[in-house]
Chain A
Amino acid sequence: MNVEERFDVFGYRFAFASPCPTACRRVGTLYDRFVVSAGPGDGRPTFSLNRERLSGRPMWNVRLDDELLASEPTLGSGLRSAEFEICTRIAAHRDDRLTLHAATLCSARGAVLIGGRSGAGKSTLAVALAARGYQLASDDVTLLHPGAPPQIYPLPRSLRLDGRSRKLLLRIGLKLPIGRQGFLTDADLDARPIQAPLVRVIVVLEPEPQDGRPLLTSVVQAEMVGALISQVAWRDSRELEALQVLAQLTAAAACYRLRRGSIEQMCDVVERSLEAA
């Protein structure tokens, strides 16, 4: 029997349905801050994850209403595909907001944005900081609403940590509650609801690993805009607007480049930068 939950994530209304209780539970955990009841004339799109046979092979199929979006061999990869499809549409739905690939963490002092190329270590650093009490709002995507300063809307995502990252985190005593599906969310790390916080510190991770202590270097705001531009998804006609939003973001924050060292030391320097901001 299909179980269905309804959500409203920053104005994008959708439902998720699956006969698999684990799938419903995991998606429900990911979007637990955004659960809503059905409304009148509720014709919201429905994402589903079902185990079906395709060409004789059992596969986990992700659908949006009747459209097949993805076929995956395992429940875990099916969940990740479904979550990716949902995330893409949430970001596309709000074209008044800029999509920035950055992790967001919050504390009483304000928010920290961690940018960097894919594989630079944003998620690993974000989870390590969450273990120190920061609220992990998103490890991957943050929507920026124009303003001085811009409002940030961190998008909940499943955490993408490879084997190496998990070992690094285990070495500092962090055992992640990863289930059999490998689908870990910020809610699994006891993240609490986030109000749109003020960004106090922006850190861009340098891609090259460094032996020894991490190096935090203050950069001018324009250099940070230049570093973040490559992490922005925008439409062709809106580059200037994107630059303006990034300028607004960096104008209100202390900006740094961070060359990597050990995870503990990287957390230490980021914490100190937030205390000094």
Chain B
Amino acid sequence: MSAAKPRRRSDIKVEALPDGSAVLYDQAAKMAYPLTVSAARIWQACDGTRTVATIVEELAATYDASAQVIERDVRAFLRHLDEVHLLAPETEVAE
């Protein structure tokens, strides 16, 4: 698995909601991004200290799905975050 440690941009505002979902707001781009509960957890985990493998392990402990499925979903979400420029520039998201 990749050794990359994804890090979220520090200037992105987060509105956390009581049901565990969250909305991200990129003030520079004036764009809002709603996140599901699981996506919000992945976002929180992107603190620059965890590898993708670690994030997958943490989620696998909570969700009733195979590590393979979770890894696929985590990588897809990280690619999306990268595409909309919500990750710090130095973060490399492997396929």
List the interface of chain A (C-beta within 8 A of B): 220-223, 225-226, 229, 239-240, 243-244, 247, 250-251
Q: Could you tell me which B residues sit within 8 Å of A by CB distance?
A: 13, 15, 17-23, 25, 27, 30, 32-37, 40
Query: Majority SS of interface residues in chain A?
Result: helix
Alpha-carbon distance A8/B14, docked complex (angstroms)? 38
Given A220-B37, A221-B17; A239-B23 close (CB under 8 Å): no
Complexed CA–CA distance, A221 and B13 (Å) = 17
CA A240 – CA B18 in complex, angstroms? 18
Interface centre among A221, A222, A223, A239 (most CB of B within 10 A): A222
Given contacts A220-B37, A226-B34, contact A243 B23 (CB under 8 A): yes
Question: Is A226 in contact with B17, judged by CB distance below 8 angstroms?
Answer: no
| Cross-chain contact B18 with A222 (CB below 8 angstroms) | no
User: Among A222, A239, A247, A251, which residue has its beta carbon within 8 angstroms of that of B30?
Assistant: A239
Bound form: Cα–Cα A244–B33 in Å: 14
Contact A240-B23, Cβ < 8 Å, known A220-B37, A225-B32: no
Which chain B residues border A250 with CB–CB below 8 Å? 17
Please measure, in the bound complex, the distance between the C-alpha atom of A208 and the C-alpha atom of B35, giving whole angstroms: 24
A223 and B32 form a contact (CB under 8 A): no
Verify A222–B25 contact, CB threshold 8 A.
no
